[in-house]
Amino acid sequence: MSHPHPELQKPPKLAKGALRVVALGGLGEIGRNMTVFEFDGKLLIVDCGVLFPEEHQPGVDVILPDFSWIRDRLESIVGIVLTHGHEDHIGGVPYLLRERRDIPVIASRLTLALITEKLKEHQIRPVRDEVAEGDRKSFGPFDLEFLAVNHSIPDGLAVAIRTPGGTVLHTGDFKMDQFPLDKRITDLRGFARLGEEGVDLFLTDSTNAEVPGFTTSERELAPAIEKVFRTAPRRVIVSSFASHVHRIQQVLDTAHEHGRKVSFVGRSMVRNMGVAQDLGYLKVPQNLIVPLAQLEKMAPNKVTLICTGSQGEPLAALSRMANRDHKIRVGEGDTILMASSVIPGNENAISNVINGLTRWGANVVHKGNAKVHVSGHASAGELVYCYNIVKPKNVMPVHGEYRHLRANADLAISTGMDPKNVVLAEDGVVVDLQQGKATITGKVQAGNIYVDAQTVGGVTEATLKDRRTLAEEGVVTVLAIVDADSGQLADPPDFLVRGFVHEPKAFDPAIQVIEKTLAHAAREGIGDARQLEQMLARDIGRWAHKTFRRSPLVIPIVIDA
């Protein structure tokens, strides 16, 4: 199979009649999915998501794909297809539309409703183009056909992209639940028909490529959910992703059967369930939902709360309940049902929430002790099935960390694909489809763009390195007043220390270091404050490391006296 060479260069000009595919996100990470297709000078985008930061990226809200490669060609974008409404597929759209507001947003009914709500918060009214499975519609040179796929949010679509340069089938996120709650199964007949017609490049979801077998049906959770409601002595508090309409449907139905009432808690949960209910994706039994204020007055064994925070997000309802920082006070006899996955990287946060809730006396039912979650992604068995049905000419695994992409590539090869036609790409790697053959031809810029409160891209890798240093090593600020004529200290320097050894006398020996550095600078004729600061940072840093075996962030401030 072809791997991206570490020293790939800028790609050549796209050959006439060739189709270019560049993933700007989602290849090498779970999140910020974004794939750009280029044909005859026009661009089509599929998805534009966000990635959530990890512990080594402190203070970052979300991470966006890097739009640099398309920034000076925004006018050439004919549309953006959103395969489904998950944040890792739509979360970046507001930031893209800030750069050009009238890019047509092409998506299914629910996905469009969710992105429209999100865009309201950014004061953007999108140009909407609603599509459904079975639709076929052209945007510039891209002839698009949409196919139903089943996933952990309703109304997901795969998209077939026909161009004179070849036909691509992009699955988006999908699985092959044969008994979905909405009876809308992944359109394998459509996949097969496209296979007959000829799929030149197959882009398929790698998230669960390492998981053997088949992803079990959403319906298999019913017994465990039912048991929670049957045995809970007092309140039932359910946490889930705010987009998992079918999971929440199961909870609503079970609560209703057991004569309980329900309130939604948390902004995104209330908003999304409102949208899903308005559009008929969530079917709510009459009088089931009551306002929280009313619910709080009811007998605890008649109460169900559905909230966000299944990933231990510090500001979400469930974490705040665990920390006694929420008006809902969890106590003895309450049952918490965490009906969701554990996204890698969130294990500690989730464990802390479970411990916190348990400490208040609650019984916590979660993925680790009951069958209360199934994945939204196709496992190895389903992927192999798809390769055999589609029989693509070339394969490019998408959506996953490198190991998942590799596992997916191996699955394709196991079905008889020629390894030469399996392309392992990463973010920014340019893949050109020409005369039926997909080839890596270069690489474009595709770094992490950090969103930090109101700034986009203001926080860089260097900023994050400083933040990690501050967190792990502390900071030492040195205020040195230097006599401009002699180049010597005019006064003893001040040391301001945070998160580091705090003995008042600990820094006395550093005064000699400063004196030595200044003397050296004076001999060399260096008097510029900026330059002196750099020298002091280096020398004090070395001294601190030698003395304390620590590397605090050293910030010298030199003032001319």
Binding site for Zn ion (CB under 5 A): 86, 173
**Residue 86: CB minimum distance to Zn ion, A:** 4
What region does 557 belong to: left with phi over 0, alpha with psi -120 to 50, or beta? Answer: beta
Tokens of 201: 């490049």
Q: Which pairing describes strands 77-82 and 105-107: parallel, antiparallel, or unpaired?
A: parallel
Q: How far apart are CA 526 and CA 4, in angstroms?
A: 47
Q: 20 vs 170, which CB is nearer to Zn ion? A: 170
We find the least distance from the C-beta atom of residue 477 to Zn ion, in angstroms, to be 46
When the beta carbons of 173 and 218 are compared against Zn ion, the nearer one is 173
Joined together, the tokens standing for residue 529 give: 């404050």
CB of 175 to Zn ion, least distance (A): 10
What does the longest C-alpha to C-alpha distance in the chain come to?
A: 86
Query: CB of 28: closest distance to Zn ion in angstroms?
Result: 17
Q: Which is nearer to Zn ion, 19 or 221 (CB)?
A: 221
Least distance (Å) between residue 207 CB and Zn ion: 8
**Cα-based distances in Å from 210 to 150, 177, 231, 379, 382:** 19, 18, 36, 7, 12
Contact 547, 479 (CB under 8 A): no
Question: Cα separation of 16 and 35, whole Å?
Answer: 21
Least distance in Å: CB of 49 to Zn ion?
9
**Do 217 and 223 form a contact (C-beta atoms < 8 A)?**
no
Residue closer to Zn ion, measured from CB, 118 or 162: 118
In terms of CB distance, is 86 or 373 closer to Zn ion? 86
Q: What strands, in cross-sheet order, belong to the sheet with 156-163? A: 136-139, 142-149, 156-163, 166-170, 201-205, 394-398
CA angle 378, 307, 122 (to 5 degrees): 85
State in angstroms the smallest separation of the CB of 85 from Zn ion: 8
Shorter beta-carbon distance to Zn ion: residue 86 or 393: 86
To the nearest 10 degrees (0 to 180), the angle between helices 402-414 and 380-390 is: 50
Q: Which token pair is 29?
A: 């990470």
Residue 134, Cβ neighbours under 10 Å: how many? 11
Q: Which of 26/195 has CB closer to Zn ion? A: 26
Neighbour-count burial for 309-319, b at 16+ CB within 10 Å, e otherwise: bbbbbeebbbb
CB of 108 to Zn ion, least distance (A): 13
- Closer to Zn ion at the Cβ: 343 or 456? 343
Please identify, using beta-carbon distances, which residue of 169 and 459 lies nearer to Zn ion. Answer: 169
Least distance in angstroms from the C-beta of 421 to Zn ion = 27
The 3-state DSSP class for residue 405 equals helix
